[in-house]
Structure 1
Amino acid sequence: MRPPTSAVHHIPGLDGLRAIAVIAVVWHHAHPGIAWLPASANGFLGVDLFFALSGWLITTLLLQERERYGQISLWNFYVRRALRIFPLYYALLALLSLYFLRAPQSTLAADFFQALPYHATYVSNWVQPDSLMAITWSLSTEEQFYLVWPPLLVWLGGRAVPWLLAFLVLNQVVNFGVLDGWLRTAGMPYESRDILQATFTPIVLGVLMAFGLRDKRAGAWLKRCLTAPMLWALVAVTLMWINWPGDLRGAPRLGFHVLVTLLIAGVVLQPGHLVVRALQWRPLAYVGTVSYGVYLLHKPALEGAHRLLAKAGIDAPGALFLLGLLLSVLAAGLSFRFFERPLLGLKERFRSPDRRRPTIDPASPPTA
């Protein structure tokens, strides 16, 4: 029996996971961490969670389209992605360009304009610019993967899985330091690029989980394994795992990627679980709904929050996080309601041939 992944219009709990991911990222950029709580210094793992979610969601959408209509329209897929990702992204770059033109001599302006070509072309993950929008490295990573992955899925179908596994091995060769010498010689030392530290591993694992959940035999096995008690266990182990002290390179980072991929599968397979109901808490789900905007806007929001707090004589990372998160959510909510949502309506023209809504509509983080 196929797991219940193909007969729903909304997956309970996923917005909550997106919210946790983006809140962790905002925390990471606002707070240096708490000495006795290692997890408080590992907020960057929120991006890895975004990657795994995106890999699963988008691949599931493509597989559903092929099952329902016998083919995948790459044109429709890329138009839908462009309508979801590009409007707010390029609008923000344009607004920041206009803002910084007013103060071209500032350090923030100089760094931004130096990095702007990389941001605008989605290659910032390979140059790691020192810019207010350096966070776009994660969006570049996703767009590069989805420039390659959907055509491979169309041409190879299930035969693409061995290629994914080979790519996964290559990513782990980087993660475990085997290529450190070569990377340093090439002018890309491991510690200088976020993409080398996160790698494409969580996206690939999300893609593989999408195949697993939609395969009759593998899906049934996963459903037997990812029971309600197992979901509790996954939550507990993941919470302990993110408290790994010090460097997460190697097995700790890979372990986290595996855990969050299994956690996503557990949430999908156990929609009535208490954990899933908690993830559906309305404020949390709302943040998840606008998480793409929160991610894009949180660095400018934190900069604004820092200036407001400085005028008030407040120098507290906790206050910076709370005010920055509040401003990010407010700005993202306004953007989603008045700018993004009207444009998203155009996606209906690029759905399936009879314009029926697919069962899952992947919102990006990032991204997501």
Structure 2
Amino acid sequence: MSQDVEVPHLSPSSSVSTKPSATPAKRLRGDVQGLRAVAILTVLAAHAGVSWFAGGFVGVDVFFVISGFLITQQLVGELGRTGRISLRRFYARRARRILPAATFTLAATVIAAVVLLGPAEVSTLAVDAVWASAFAANIRMAISGTDYFQAELPPSPVQHFWSLAVEEQFYLVWPLVAVICIVLASRIGAARGATQDVERDSARPRRFLLLAIVLITLASLARSVVHTPGEATAAYFSSLTRAWELGIGAALAILVTSGRLMQRIAGSAWAREVLVLGGLAAIAGACLVYDESTPFPGYHAALPVLGTAAVILAGSTPAGDTTLGARLLSVAPMRAIGDWSFSLYLWHWPLLVLPEIVLQRELTWPERGLAVAGAFVLAYVSFRLIEAPFREGAFWRPTGRALTFYPVTIALVAAVALGGARYADFEATRGAYQPAIAVTDAPAADPSLDDQEALVRASVLAARDNTAIPTELRPGLTELDSLKPHRTRCDYTDDTERDLCVDGDPDGDRTMVVFGNSHALHWVPTLNRIAKKHGFRVYFLVKNRCVSASITTDRGSSEHDPYTECDDFNRWAFKQYKRLDADLTVVSTAPPINGVFDDDGSWVGDKETINSLMHPAYTDFLRRVDKHTGRTVLIRDIQGFDANAGACLSRPGAALGDCLMGPVESRETAIDVQVQAAEEVGVDVVDMSSYFCWDGSCPAVVGDTITHYDGTHMSRQYAPQLAKPLARQLGLRGRE
């Protein structure tokens, strides 16, 4: 990266760029600045919740095409002027352009979180910020977004850095590919001797570059189309499925050096008008028609991408700025917003997300308007005081000095993040020592309650007295991710995995089979302890979002697609189950998240209708299961809350009373349908409600342990404490 690559047979005087494209390469493209404004304004509209502009997220795709075009234009222009490409200068330009403003935003966001948020959010954000500073935010967000147990958590205040990561990962590779193409072109020219004319020699590197970017673009597009339908979240953040969008811009930058192509466009005012207005219409159409249910990127991204390419192509001639679309894009306000677009993109997201995390609710329209206005103010200040001076200032122009930005900025963000994390640890235990809640802290309990139920009662009373949160909480407030339910040895998230794994006591003389979804997974630590003590081999035939009922559910997202993978898994699981000859079968399942499909294949989302369909679906499933086992038990699904226990406890100044919750009535009604079906079939029902709630109140902390990971899943730490009570309810007493 520190070497300049020279092409021996390409002289500076024989430019790769032909005359028709030389002018646009040198002049300031007002239409491109206006296009940047279009991109950021659409993104702002979508993120601010403008419903009729829900597809405004395609503004990111507009940015990708613009970036691919401008950066490649710089590379090709340098090749034409000097006969070489300097990787050192290229990465130095990127450092001056990107790092100062991005680093300042990351550091400011972490500091703001330390002031406004609780220890849990600060600790997570600190990790996110380090990933973002290393241009790997898209990898971090893809991992988080594809984790079922993190899907309902609030988005990270630095999540938007994923797109910057995609760009920088592309530009880590593309200049290196360009250098290889140039070297190959020069060697081929040298091998053929001096018989080739200068014009032909100058065109050869351009053809190699075009071929390389076409291959990259086609490969990335194919991956995007193939992987988006089944891996939507991972595809959305992946540089492999997004590279083709930058590749379209890069290919366009090479194509506009073709004198013949540009002469045709330059000579037809009608063609230029059609390109620019049609391109803008394509972008606007995507913004208006697409929404969060649109599988993206995939082939849907072609509409805004090709629309952007058309606008850029129309303006790449000397007369390109005379079109109606170009004149509209080049008006002073649009150019100004285009100038600020990078800083505006950096600031808008944390200003919209941080207040929602603090308030634990969606912002109102006036609040969103205030956040957007604040983003414009900060963007202007950031552009004037940070972005422009670092990009253009003489002090920072030396290449070697600019390259030091990379390690310096990562170190700076890491230092701020580490400081934030340490402060979060301090905040989590600050104040006078508060012991764990004990049964003796409450008046004498009902003698019919066991020790754990009595502790729940004492915890409710402590919360009603607004007692301080125990100092030695399990887990600590900066370790809330460890609350996540335990996974089994066979994780059936991947639909290609179809193995049977033995948990519990592999040498046990009895067999237990567990059916369910993630609400069976959260019982894994409990059931494994029981199995080991009572000699059970355990097979967890569980899959996230897969309801244990004879009915097709949706995927739990807004597109209302049938979850056919669940139907397939249930068929496979039941086939295995009949061979296991189970002594005990346990069913623990959450109700459908969004809706189900009736016998006619129509989606049903009404709660009452869902319940009416679920009753026979549960009944049929339990009846089929009960035929192939010694005993079947349904664990009544645990209470669900409308708030996140860990996030509530992490709020600045929170006490136990602030996080005393009650069951969600609609969810309890749906759970009762399971119980009614079990009673109809004659299946035993185990109700563990008294180990989570008492007298209509449910504490976030029982003793010193947080009970829930989120609104509906039991925590990994609390689950083992229920092993003895659940074993008693299952009637397993002989080996205790």
Residue 349 (structure 2) aligned to one of 299, 317, 337: 299
Question: Do the aligned partners of 1:48 and 1:202 also contact (CA within 8 Å) in 2?
Answer: yes
Alignment counterpart, residue 194 of structure 1, candidates 222, 233, 236: 236
Structure 1 pair 61/75, CA: closer, same or farther in 2 (3 Å)? same
User: Which residue is 1:85 aligned to?
Assistant: 98
Aligned to 2:539: none
1:307 deviates by: 9.3
For residues 217-296 of structure 1, the aligned pairs below 5 Å read 217-223=260-266, 226-245=271-290, 247-249=294-296, 250-269=298-317, 270-296=320-346
Give the C-alpha shift of residue 277 in structure 1.
1.6
Aligned length: 335
- How many Å separate the matches in 1 of 2:340 and 2:167? 18
For 1:146, which of 171, 184, 188 is the aligned residue? 171
Q: 1:165 aligns with which of 194, 214, 218?
A: 214
Distance 1:19 1:7 in 2: 20
- Following superposition, the deviation at residue 237 of structure 1 comes to 4.3
Query: Is the 1:164–1:204 contact (alpha carbons within 8 Å) kept by the matching residues of 2?
Result: yes
For residue 369 of structure 2, the aligned residue among 293, 308, 322 is 322
Higher Cα Rg, which structure: 2
Give the letter aligned to residue 215 of structure 1.
Answer: S
Which residue matches 2:31? Answer: 13
> 1:24/1:242 Cα in 2 relative to 1: closer, same or farther (>3 Å)?
closer
**Letter of the 1:177 counterpart:** V
Give structure 1 stretches of 5+ with no counterpart.
Answer: 182-188, 352-368
The offset of 1:262, in angstroms, is 1.3
Partner of 1:203: 246
Q: Which residue of 2 aligns with 1:364?
A: none
Partner of 1:134: 159
Note if contact 1:56-1:209 (Cα within 8 Å) is conserved in structure 2: yes
Who is 1:366 aligned against? none
Judge which range, 242-251 or 6-15, deviates more: 242-251
For the Cα contact (< 8 Å) 2:33–2:330, is it kept in 1? yes
Cα 1:101/1:305, change in 2 over 3 Å: closer
Alignment TM-score, normalising by the size of structure 2: 0.42
Amino acid at match of 1:277: R
Paired residue for 1:176? 225
Choose between structure 1 and 2: higher strand proportion. Answer: 2
What TM-score, normalized to structure 1?
Answer: 0.81
Q: Which of residues 48, 52, 58 is equivalent to 1:30?
A: 48
Q: Distance in 1 between matches of 2:363 and 2:110?
A: 29
Larger deviation, residues 98-107 vs 169-178: 98-107
Distance 1:104 1:243 in 2: 35
In structure 2, what is the Cα distance between the partners aligned to 1:260 and 1:126? Answer: 26
In structure 2, relative to structure 1, the CA distance for the partners of 1:179 and 1:42 (3 Å cut) is: closer
Q: 1:96 to 1:242 in 2, by over 3 A?
A: closer
Query: Is the contact made by 1:52 and 1:261 (CA closer than 8 Å) also made in structure 2?
Result: yes
Q: Alpha-carbon deviation of 1:240? A: 3.3
Structure 2 counterpart of 1:68: 81
Amino acid at match of 2:233: E
Displacement of 1:47 in angstroms is: 0.3
Q: CA deviation at 1:53?
A: 0.3
CA contact (8 A) 1:2 1:220 kept: yes
For residue 302 of structure 1, report the CA deviation from its aligned partner: 2.1
> 1:3 is paired with a residue of what secondary structure?
helix
8 Å contact 1:12–1:267 — kept in the other structure? no
Q: How far apart in 1 are the matches of 2:244 and 2:379?
A: 28
Match of 2:383 among 330, 336, 359: 336
What's the offset of the Cα at 1:4? Answer: 5.5
Which letter maps to 1:207?
A
Alignment-derived partner of residue 58 in structure 2: 45
Supply the distance in 1 between the matched residues of 2:108 and 2:278 (Cα, whole angstroms).
45
8 A contact 1:190–1:196 mirrored in 2: no
Gaps of 5+ in 2: 1-18, 145-154, 182-204, 400-736
Between stretches 233-242 and 42-51, larger displacement belongs to 233-242
Cα distance between partner residues in 1 of 2:286 and 2:126:
39
**Which one-letter code corresponds to 2:139 in the other structure?**
W
CA 1:117–1:231: 2 relative to 1, 3 Å: closer
Check conservation: 2:275, 2:310, Cα contact below 8 A. Answer: no
Aligned equivalent of 1:215, options 227, 248, 258: 258
Residue 356 of structure 1 corresponds to none
Q: 1:307/1:152 Cα in 2 relative to 1: closer, same or farther (>3 Å)?
A: closer
Counterpart pick for 1:2 among 16, 20, 23: 20
Aligned residue type for 2:213: L
Inter-CA distance 261–13: structure 2 relative to 1 (3 Å threshold) = same
Q: Which residue among 58, 75, 78 is the counterpart of 2:71? A: 58
Answer yes or no: is the 8 Å Cα contact 1:22–1:295 preserved in 2: yes
| Residue 155 of structure 1, CA deviation | 2.7
Equivalent residues of 2:157, 2:354 under 8 A apart: no
Query: Does the aligned pair in 2 maintain the 1:90–1:120 contact within 8 Å?
Result: yes
- 1:357 maps to which residue? none
Worse overlay, 271-280 or 137-146: 271-280
Deviation (angstroms), 1:104: 6.5
Q: 1:251 to 1:340 in 2, by over 3 A?
A: closer
1:214 match: secondary structure: coil
What is the Cα-based RMSD across aligned positions, in Å?
A: 2.9
SS of the aligned residue for 1:72 comes to strand
Partner of 1:355: none
Q: Which residue of 1 aligns with 2:13?
A: none
* Correspondent of 1:155 among 165, 173, 180: 180
Instruction: Return 86-95 or 143-152, whichever deviates more.
Output: 86-95
Alpha-carbon distance change, 252 to 99 in structure 1, aligned in 2, over 3 angstroms: closer
